[in-house]
């Protein structure tokens, strides 16, 4: 069986979607499977994609416009090669018919349409229902997202399969001396809490800024904000320190040195950075948004509100309780280890067999 993958996000900047495709395909290459993946893109093979792998190969199909590529060029290439089917994200070209699996990471655009620019909102609210109707199977990354897909698009009932995310292999504890040096290069102080993400309304980063400013003066902790800045100028508050986007080694160093990791997002289909923090030995605080409670379970603090005062109170308690910090760190190690890309790839293989055999 040969399956086409829309591989345009593989090897790109490590957003959640890019991480999913990069890690899933990498894990799939380790499976003992007769299924071959053909990785189609409108760009040449990126350096992160190795050569010489027996069960996948890169297929460069040029196109001037991305939308034209996904609607026409890619599906026509799949049909010409008479492949078993295709695996896309969020949308399915009519030219593919039902010979398609589509991954829908989350239903944030339906949960909070106000979080999205008008054009993105119009495209996603149109393409996701069509994908759910047309695709043979829908893959998503959490039970929470699976339930939301069926809630907002009843046509997806019976089609949805869950293949959970995991921590990417490039996030892991590094040498403590090297980690301390990386933090020094970034101007990060000894005591800090960390949040990772863009300044996008759904990510709710202002809550972390406001909560940090409400910490008692007896606590010296700064709030280190890491990630792409997003649109416009955002307030950092009295304790905020923005590093901008950092490389993988620096991100590992930041996780390792943080007294806590804050994830105030209003909605997530999974929330990979929570597992990244756990793997690096950082206590995690998350909101109720989307799949966070499912993913962190008892290994993190799940806040019941989005009130900065509540977050500040809980964070103050955590920073003053070494025993609770140790408990969360140990629970986090175990929870993170429960998610693997190998298991996700195996589940994905089963979906392909359901959809295309």
CATH of the domain at 231: 3.40.50.2000
User: Dmax over Cα atoms in the chain, in whole Å?
Assistant: 67
How many beta carbons lie within 10 A of that of residue 346, not counting itself? 16
In the block, which residue shows the tokens 């996030």? 171
The answer on 331 and 229 residing in a single domain is yes
The band of 230, judged by pLDDT with boundaries at 50, 70 and 90, is low
The band of 233, judged by pLDDT with boundaries at 50, 70 and 90, is low
Q: What is the mean pLDDT of the chain?
A: 94
**3-state DSSP assignment of residue 103:** strand
178, 181, 185, 189: CA torsion to nearest 10: 120
The verdict on residue 300 lying in a domain is yes
Helix (H) or strand (E) holding 105: none
48 pLDDT exceeds 80? no
The answer on 96 and 58 residing in a single domain is yes
* C-alpha pair distances (Å), 177 with each of 69, 181, 314: 47, 6, 31
The band of 228, judged by pLDDT with boundaries at 50, 70 and 90, is confident
The verdict on residue 85 lying in a domain is yes
The band of 36, judged by pLDDT with boundaries at 50, 70 and 90, is very high
Q: How many residues does the chain have?
A: 357
Determine contact, residues 71/93, Cβ cutoff 8 Å. yes
The verdict on residue 171 lying in a domain is no
The verdict on residue 139 lying in a domain is yes
Helix (H) or strand (E) holding 350: helix 341-356
The verdict on residue 161 lying in a domain is yes
Backbone angles phi, psi at 135, to 5 degrees: -65, 150
List pLDDT tens digits, range 258-284: 999 999 999 999 999 999 999 999 999
Q: How many domains does the chain divide into?
A: 2
E strands present in 163-221: 192-196
Alpha carbon 37 to its chain centroid, in Å, reads 22
The answer on 216 and 131 residing in a single domain is no
Q: Which domain holds residue 231?
A: 176-337
The answer on 332 and 209 residing in a single domain is yes
Nearest to 312 by CA among 206, 213, 221: 213
The answer on 322 and 184 residing in a single domain is yes
List pLDDT tens digits, range 304-354: 999 999 999 999 999 999 999 999 999 999 999 999 999 999 999 999 999
The answer on 106 and 70 residing in a single domain is yes
DSSP label of 104: -
List pLDDT tens digits, range 81-139: 999 999 999 999 999 999 999 999 999 999 999 999 999 999 999 999 999 999 999 99
Helices (H) and strands (E) in the chain, counts: 14, 13
Nearest to 137 by CA among 171, 95, 96: 96
249 pLDDT exceeds 70? yes
Give the tokens for residue 196. Answer: 């990772």
The verdict on residue 240 lying in a domain is yes
The answer on 9 and 156 residing in a single domain is yes
The answer on 258 and 288 residing in a single domain is yes
The verdict on residue 309 lying in a domain is yes
């Amino acid at each position: 069986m040969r399956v086409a993958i829309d591989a345009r996000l593989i090897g790109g900047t490590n957003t959640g979607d890019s991480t999913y495709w990069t890690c899933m395909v990498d894990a799939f290459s380790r499976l003992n499977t007769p299924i071959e993946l053909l990785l189609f893109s409108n760009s040449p093979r990126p350096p992160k994609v190795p050569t010489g792998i027996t069960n996948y190969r890169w297929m460069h199909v040029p196109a001037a416009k991305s939308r034209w590529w996904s609607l026409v060029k890619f599906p026509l290439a799949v049909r010409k090669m008479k492949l078993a089917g295709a695996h896309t994200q969020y949308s399915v070209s009519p030219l593919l018919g039902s010979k398609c699996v589509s991954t829908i990471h989350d239903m944030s655009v339906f949960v909070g349409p106000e979080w999205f620019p008008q054009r993105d909102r119009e495209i996603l609210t149109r393409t996701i229902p069509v994908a759910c109707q047309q695709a043979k199977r829908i893959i998503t990354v959490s039970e929470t997202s699976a339930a939301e897909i069926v809630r907002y698009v009843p046509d997806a009932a019976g089609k949805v399969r869950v293949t959970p995310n995991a921590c990417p292999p490039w996030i892991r504890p590094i040498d403590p001396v090297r980690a301390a040096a990386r933090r020094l290069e970034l101007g990060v102080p000894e005591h800090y809490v960390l949040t990772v993400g863009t300044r996008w309304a759904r990510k709710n980063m202002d809550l972390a800024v406001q909560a940090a400013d409400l910490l008692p003066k007896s606590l010296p902790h700064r709030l280190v904000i890491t990630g792409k800045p997003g649109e416009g100028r955002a307030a950092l508050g009295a304790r905020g320190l923005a590093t901008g986007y950092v490389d993988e080694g620096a991100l590992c160093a930041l996780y390792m040195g943080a007294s806590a990791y804050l994830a105030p997002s209003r909605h997530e289909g999974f929330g990979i950075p929570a597992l990244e923090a756990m793997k690096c030995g950082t206590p995690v605080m998350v909101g109720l948004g989307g799949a966070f409670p499912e993913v962190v379970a008892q290994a993190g603090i799940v806040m019941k509100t989005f009130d900065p005062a509540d977050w500040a109170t809980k964070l103050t308690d955590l920073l003053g309780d070494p025993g609770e910090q140790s408990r969360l760190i140990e629970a986090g190690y175990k929870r993170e280890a429960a998610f693997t890309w190998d298991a996700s790839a195996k589940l994905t293989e089963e979906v392909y067999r359901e959809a295309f055999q």
